[in-house]
Structure 1
Amino acid sequence: MSNPSLSGVQLFLLVYFFSLSLSLAVAYLYRRWQEGDMLRRFEDLMRHRASLHGMLKILSREAQEISSCSDEDLDHWLRRGPAYTPEGQTLSDVDREMEILHGELLRLRAPKHLDSSRMHLVETVERAREWISRVLSSRTPAQIRSALSMRADEKTLADLARANERIRQFALRHGINEQDSFYHDSYFYV
């Protein structure tokens, strides 16, 4: 009887097939891990975007309340000190939240296709914080009204709309369905 042994060619083909299968499996697992990592970073960016959107709504509401005040009310507001009024407290609270958000956005590793959208969000936070600072540091009703007029809502909304479009295109390219996202309303719509 012959001894069933592998010839050199058969052994080479077996090792080659095994190493090829192993490398394909590793490549598949690496790609799945990359897709999961990209999706996690995408979700992080969307959570930050939703937080910013909520804070901008609060700022808009407070700006409308403050701008509807008469000069006498604003003068009284300034004498009490903005930090001791409900509106001033709200602005200070939002400023603190935005400071935290700003740091998180700077540290966030966004997918490279969305890095410009992340930077738009960073710039929006910086503009909003500058606006809050101008309102809270005003000394006269005229300065408050001037700060209120510099709110630049349209630029902020345009930035968010641009960021939304980039995000939407990224989601479409990577097969992320807007409706499947648990934050899709705040993610994709201003």
Structure 2
Amino acid sequence: MARIGYARVSTIEQDLEIQVVKLKSEGCEIIRSEKISGASREGRTELHTIIEFLREGDELVITRLDRLGRDTRDVLNIVYECEQRGAFVTILDPHVSTRGEMGHVILTVLGMVAQMERRFIKERQREGIARAKAEGVYKGGKVRLDHSLIRRLHAQGLTPSAIARTARCSRMQVYRILNSPEPHAGEFREA
């Protein structure tokens, strides 16, 4: 029986250290982490690896439910997949576990709250952008990745891992850009 920790933050600029320290202090022998949005499961390779690794009696430990996901259906599907492998999920804050029946009810409610919170964040963001546009100060979203750089590095024969390190992004973003239609020359696009 292993305690496997999972830490996640949404952006490259955010720090995983607080989550990792908490998971270690809870006795997690293995901790996998990633910097990617929790809006969906797409591209969350570390989470997928953990779920594939889980065995009977293992425990997936996360610091807060929103680290697992911000969509109720995704969270419940992850919990279901863990249980299909004979494992269970434990959230540290607030302390909830799927070992007992009440844990499932609480997880469902917390999942709904996380999803609602994400909607509120998006709504506040839209309101802020609208206000900035009305005041004439909105400059648009920050360009995050230079697609042409990634394509150039790929053409030079660099591996997706090497490209990701150079461009300071995830391998999944590199794959998405390489598999997407090529933009107009010199155009920057968000990944």
Q: Assess same fold via TM > 0.5.
A: no
Greater helix share, structure number: 1
Larger Rg: 1
Q: More relative contact order in 1 or in 2 (CA 8 Å, sep 6+)?
A: 1
Greater strand share, structure number: 2
